[in-house]
Amino acid sequence: MKRFIYADNAATAKLSSSALDAMLPWLQSDFANPSQPYSFSRAAKTAIKEARQIIADCIGASSDEIFFTSGGTESDNWAIKGSAISHTIITSEIEHHAVLNSCKAMAASGADVKYLKPTRDGVILPDNLEKNISDTSLVSIMLANNEIGTIQPICELCEITHAHGALFHTDAVQAVGHIPVDVKSLGVDMLSASAHKFNGPKGVGFLYIKSGTSLLPFHDGGSQESGKRAGTENVAGIVGMATALKENCERMSETAKRLYGYEKLLIDNLSGLDFIRNGGENHLPGVINLSFKGASGEAILHRMDLKGICISTGSACDSVNTQVSHVIRAIGVPVEYAQGTIRISLGADNTEEDVVAIANALKQILSN
Ligand code: PLP
């Protein structure tokens, strides 16, 4: 029987069993609307309160700074569109489209948006921000890149931003649950996260908003989320997200150590092939972005699929786009390698055997 190997965890990760178990009662027996005044609603209201506290503890926030959303895209849209009131934004060329297209929408309504260039390793240098910042209201730089895994120097970027009186938002969708994230030591004003990237359910996430930060409500309606994000809460999703995040944080260092080991194993097993590894030394555990000389990333993806192996050519949201991704272009991967780019993203469930099978499959495909 053909083995199935899932190695696209940066696109989405499998729901953890404990998150599923924690979610079920809120979909069935305890289905009450948490906003109702009767006693049947009390358990749901308490579950949301507890989930908010668990999530806050995982990122060093206080519970009243956590606002539940429908995921990373919504959190990014909210942070950018709700805070850039004076319409001057700095972001980077390698952000996710949730940020890039939110900035594009702001630009269409008159905002001035600057895009910082990354280094060849995908790093946004603090000096680059320092040179470009003036009369800026918002800086939005991701914590870790979804295609190449590079982790940004957020503390330094944040300090520069604050010295110029601007707000700092970070898209931490790929980082939360995978590397330690502490909002206070990072110094950020807003931080986006999404549950399905850390083994929680799809369609739920949160935006951290530092206490005292002025941000317009995402949308208007009822008084949920302190009147900033109206709508009946996704109780099961919120509980599942908190359960998954706590679980991932508890096993984070063990998982990261194992995944960094697997990366080395994979690269060692690819010796003899002509490829470049993209992304810097400081990168997310298990995210391996490779560009093979003279190859087609899309063809590799489909041939891997025939072997039962799921990988990606770039970000999941880009899967219909066969062009070289904006990230690969921005970091300047040489043209003869750029078309042959793939992303392998390993997760907590992957094994050493998976990694060896992935390497063998790549060698077979690329030597034909
Ligand atoms: N930001 C980054 C860095 C991502 O990788 C993704 C998803 O791929 C998103 C935002 C969007 O998150 P969601 O799928 O929860 O809307």
**Which domains, from first to last, does the chain contain?**
5-13+252-367 (3.90.1150.10), 17-250 (3.40.640.10)
Question: How many CB atoms sit inside 10 A of residue 262's CB?
Answer: 22
Eight-state DSSP code of residue 14: P
H-run or E-run covering 294: none
Quick check: CB of 174 below 6 Å from ligand 1? yes
Tell me the pTM. Answer: 0.96
H-helix segments, 307-351? 326-330, 335-338
Query: Would you tell me the crossing angle of helices 97-108 and 72-83 to the nearest 10 degrees?
Result: 30
Distance CA 353, CA 359 (A): 10
Q: How many helices (H) and strands (E) does the chain have?
A: 13, 12
> 173 C-alpha to center of ligand 1: Å?
6
The CA-atom distances, in angstroms, between 248 and each of 5, 179, 258, 333 are 21, 10, 14, 33
- Whether 235 and 44 have beta carbons less than 8 Å apart is answered as yes
Catalytic residue status for 317: yes
Q: How far is CA 16 from the centre of its chain?
A: 18
- Kindly state the tokens that stand for 265: 């194993």
Q: Say which amino acid occupies 350.
A: N
Nearest to 282 by CA among 85, 148, 156: 148
For a substitution probing ligand 1, which of 68, 140, 174, 283 has the most ligand atoms within 8 Å of its CB? 174
Quick check: CB of 177 below 6 Å from ligand 1? no
> 72 C-alpha to center of ligand 1: Å?
5
Distance CA 339, CA 323 (A): 8
- Block means of pLDDT (10 residues each) for the chain, 368 residues, are 89 98 97 96 97 98 98 98 83 98 94 97 98 95 98 98 97 98 98 98 98 94 94 97 98 98 97 95 97 96 97 64 86 96 97 97 93
Closest residue to atom 12 of ligand 1, CA basis: 72
Closest residue to atom 14 of ligand 1, CA basis: 72
For a substitution probing ligand 1, which of 143, 197, 325 has the most ligand atoms within 8 Å of its CB? 197
Sheet hosting strand 341-345, strand order edge to edge: 275-278, 287-292, 341-345
Which atom number of ligand 1 is nearest to the Cα of residue 144?
3
> 336 C-alpha to center of ligand 1: Å?
29
Q: What is the reported pLDDT for 290? A: 98
- Kindly state the tokens that stand for 234: 């996704």
Overall residue count recorded for the chain in this entry: 368
Q: How far is CA 22 from the centre of its chain?
A: 23
Which atom number of ligand 1 is nearest to the Cα of residue 194?
15
For a substitution probing ligand 1, which of 147, 194, 321, 343 has the most ligand atoms within 8 Å of its CB? 194
- Whether 19 and 296 have beta carbons less than 8 Å apart is answered as no
- Whether 126 and 156 have beta carbons less than 8 Å apart is answered as yes
Closest residue to atom 13 of ligand 1, CA basis: 72
Distance CA 279, CA 123 (A): 8
Nearest to 330 by CA among 76, 118, 184: 118
> Is the Cα torsion angle 173, 180, 13, 55 positive or negative in sign?
negative
Q: What is the reported pLDDT for 316? A: 47
Q: What is the reported pLDDT for 282? A: 96
